Amino acid sequence: MAYDGIITYGITKELSSLLKLGKIDKIYQPAKEMIIIQFHTTAGNFRLLASCNGMSSRLCLTENKYENPVNPPNFCMVLRKYLLGGRVIEIRQKDSERIIEMDIEALSEMGFTISRKLIFELMGKHSNIILIDMDTNKIIDACKRISIDVNQYRQTLAGAIYKYPPVQDKIPFKGITGQTDIGENAKIIIGKVAGISPAIAREISNYNPPAKRLDEIISSVDKMSFKARIYFDKGVPIEFHLADLSEYKDLDIKYYGSLSECVEYFYFHKENTNLLKQKSAPLHRNVKKLLDKAGLKKKRLNEDILSAEKSKSCKLYGELLTANLHMVKGGEPTVELLNWYDGSLVKIPLDTRLSPAKNAQRFFKKYSKSKVALKEKKIQLIDVDRDIEYLESVLLSIDNAKSVDDLALIRSELEDEGYMRAQNQKNNKNKRNLYKPSPLKYVLSSGYTAYVGRNNRENDYLTIKFAKKTDLWLHTKDIAGSHVIVSLPNDVQISDLDPDIIYEAASIAAYHSKASKGENVPVDYVSVRRVKKPKNAKPGMVIFDSNKTVYVNPSLPT
């Protein structure tokens, strides 16, 4: 990720043009390593986001909403005490480093004007946000307090003299001209030039001389003529910059009106993706354990059923022994008797401790037990198959979840069904009451709209409550997937639909299923009136009849 010195330079110029002489109205700290400062300027109100998180350190304007804690952290309270009501005098970049300084004039408790400096160090895991007194250069407070035990050269504790991070022996990118010799290999360029990312080093190494291309990039920042962009791979943001990165030319590119908008979009979605992975991992793991347990239970039930079916011969043994008691001698381990059903000889194992009559009773009793067991095991097997089908659909919902709220709803569903212990019943109940179904929507080439459930509860909502009886219902055949509803006008019958409409909708159903990466995926389709939800069925589980099946490749409408 390329939040390098050049991006820092661009952000500095952008913020300076918008926030200079702006007044600080509000300060929040929604996360441990993130602050948001609201400015009032002649051009309007702006919200500045600063993050010193090691994976997403950045400084940019934001319009995204972040939830603030009930009790502000100490650092937030310090910033409010010293900066609220203050005005921004200057915003600048420290040399070519990833450090931005904001000079602020605010009134002291006695009413005197005091100059303070808010420093944003955006250096990956070494990032920090530090407030210092400009007259004494002493640290007032820091978001990350670094003691001498951690860093002997540089501490960020209240009262300590502020020191800049050590400077590397490199040429600052701002000092580069088109004639500067910075080498031709990306690795050499990184070793010579300070403030550039590996991505930029690789990019300019394609030019001769590389310094000329770097000079052009810096000039575009000076003139504010650059175009901020993000490179996407299948909808996932991969890289961003204010300069063209030809190594990503085959990816999708989206341009933004401002560098802040570009930076915030990139990191906001990266953070959400990482947070989603962190939140979904334990839930996915727990459901996978439940699925493995159900699979093991199914295996054992099948073994028990097979064993019970083999016990059917006990009935024959008992009948033959009862009919031939006079021919069986006590104490014999086996006896051969004629099977009158097919005329063959049957060798029957005997318990030498029991009489022939007792052996016959033993076989009848064993047969009776196996008969009852067979019936019970088959019922249990049906229940286990339903559990497996349901848990597979839940796994798919977890994999397709787009937000933490989606995961919370899936968890509450599992808690309601008794698969997981409730964490906080009151909060979960409130979430369910506030939950509003928002299925995915796709407009087909015919103009009809297809709706796709994102989880089992939404599947139920679509099929049972939302859809009309005459609408088209689709689902992958014997494969976990989402319910898909194609809303049809009242005067349109499914039998009158163009086959292309059905195939297009079926492709959507295949895409939102466990077989999304397969080919020739079978998809059932039928009128909604033929779909029923059995009593006490689990969320998303339905039965249907009179369906037809088509085979399609997963895809979404273009």
Distance CA 462, CA 451 (A): 8
Q: Where are the alpha helices (DSSP H) in 84-237?
A: 186-192, 198-204, 210-222
User: Could you give the angle at the alpha carbon of 278 between the alpha carbons of 274 and 280, nearest 5°?
Assistant: 110
Partners of 51 in the β-ladder: 34, 58
For residue 442, what are the CA distances in angstroms to 88, 449, 491, 556?
47, 6, 21, 8
pLDDT value for 388: 94
The pLDDT of 213-235, averaged and rounded, is 93
pLDDT value for 435: 62
Q: Which amino acid is at 158?
A: A
**Could you tell me what percent of the chain has a pLDDT over 70?**
98
- Residue 242's pLDDT band (cuts 50, 70, 90): very high
Checking if the pLDDT of 288 tops 80, the result is yes
- Residue 243's pLDDT band (cuts 50, 70, 90): very high
pLDDT value for 548: 95
Mean pLDDT of the chain: 91
The pLDDT of 494-523, averaged and rounded, is 94
pLDDT value for 316: 87
Checking if the pLDDT of 17 tops 90, the result is yes
**Could you tell me what percent of the chain has a pLDDT over 90?**
70
Per residue in 305-331, pLDDT (tens digit) is 888 887 878 888 888 899 888 888 888
For residue 235, what are the CA distances in angstroms to 232, 281, 315, 513, 517?
5, 21, 65, 18, 16
Q: What letter does residue 342 receive in the DSSP assignment?
A: T
Question: Which three-class secondary structure state does DSSP give residue 232?
Answer: strand
Strand segments, DSSP code E, in 32-160 are 34-41, 44-51, 58-61, 87-93, 99-107, 113-121, 128-133, 138-142
Q: Which tokens belong to 396?
A: 């798919």
Q: Is residue 404 within 8 Å of 431, Cβ to Cβ?
A: no
- Residue 430's pLDDT band (cuts 50, 70, 90): low
For residue 73, what are the CA distances in angstroms to 28, 45, 77, 108, 203?
9, 24, 7, 22, 42
Domains 5-142 and 277-402 share a fold: no
- Residue 425's pLDDT band (cuts 50, 70, 90): low
| pLDDT-wise least confident of 225-229, 408-412, 481-485 | 408-412
Count of CB atoms situated within 10 Å of the CB of 357: 13
pLDDT value for 373: 86
Q: Which tokens belong to 236?
A: 């996932």
pLDDT value for 236: 83
Q: Roughly what angle, to the nearest 10 degrees, separates helices 210-222 and 5-19?
A: 10
Q: Is residue 301 within 8 Å of 428, Cβ to Cβ?
A: no
Q: What letter does residue 432 receive in the DSSP assignment?
A: H
Q: Is residue 410 within 8 Å of 401, Cβ to Cβ?
A: yes
| Torsion, CA 444, CA 450, CA 455, CA 457, rounded to 10 | 170
pLDDT value for 14: 97
Q: Which helix or strand (DSSP H or E) is residue 320 part of?
A: helix 313-323
pLDDT value for 511: 95
| Residue of 35, 59, 61 lying closest to 47 (CA atoms) | 61
Report CA Rg, the chain: 35
- Residue 67's pLDDT band (cuts 50, 70, 90): confident
Count of CB atoms situated within 10 Å of the CB of 272: 14
The pLDDT of 164-169, averaged and rounded, is 89
CATH dotted code for 277-402:
1.10.287
pLDDT value for 512: 95
Per residue in 94-128, pLDDT (tens digit) is 999 999 999 999 988 888 899 999 999 999 999 99
Q: Is residue 256 within 8 Å of 229, Cβ to Cβ?
A: yes
Q: Which tokens belong to 494?
A: 């499914």
Count of CB atoms situated within 10 Å of the CB of 442: 19
- Residue 545's pLDDT band (cuts 50, 70, 90): very high
Q: Which tokens belong to 454?
A: 């994102």
For residue 81, what are the CA distances in angstroms to 20, 108, 363?
21, 9, 89
- Residue 289's pLDDT band (cuts 50, 70, 90): very high
The pLDDT of 482-495, averaged and rounded, is 93
CATH dotted code for 5-142:
2.30.310.10
pLDDT value for 429: 52
3-state secondary structure 507-525: HHHHHCECCCCCCCEEEEE
Backbone angles phi, psi at 67, to 5 degrees: -80, 125
| pLDDT-wise least confident of 56-60, 148-152, 487-491, 533-537 | 148-152
Q: Find where tokens 């006990």 sit.
A: 314
Checking if the pLDDT of 160 tops 90, the result is yes
Strand segments, DSSP code E, in 426-483 are 440-443, 449-452, 472-476
* CA 69 to centroid of chain Cα atoms: 23
Distance CA 500, CA 481 (A): 21
The pLDDT of 122-138, averaged and rounded, is 95
Q: Which amino acid is at 260?
A: S
Question: Which three-class secondary structure state does DSSP give residue 463?
Answer: helix
The pLDDT of 154-183, averaged and rounded, is 92
Q: Any idea where the domains of the chain sit in the sequence?
A: 5-142, 171-257, 277-402, 404-434, 436-552
Q: Which tokens belong to 317?
A: 């043994």
Q: What is the secondary structure of 236-302 as a DSSP string?
A: EEEEEESS--GGGTTSEEEEESSHHHHHHHHHHHHHHHHHHHHHHHHHHHHHHHHHHHHHHHHHHHH
Of 275 and 510, which is predicted with more confidence?
A: 510
Question: Which three-class secondary structure state does DSSP give residue 145?
Answer: coil
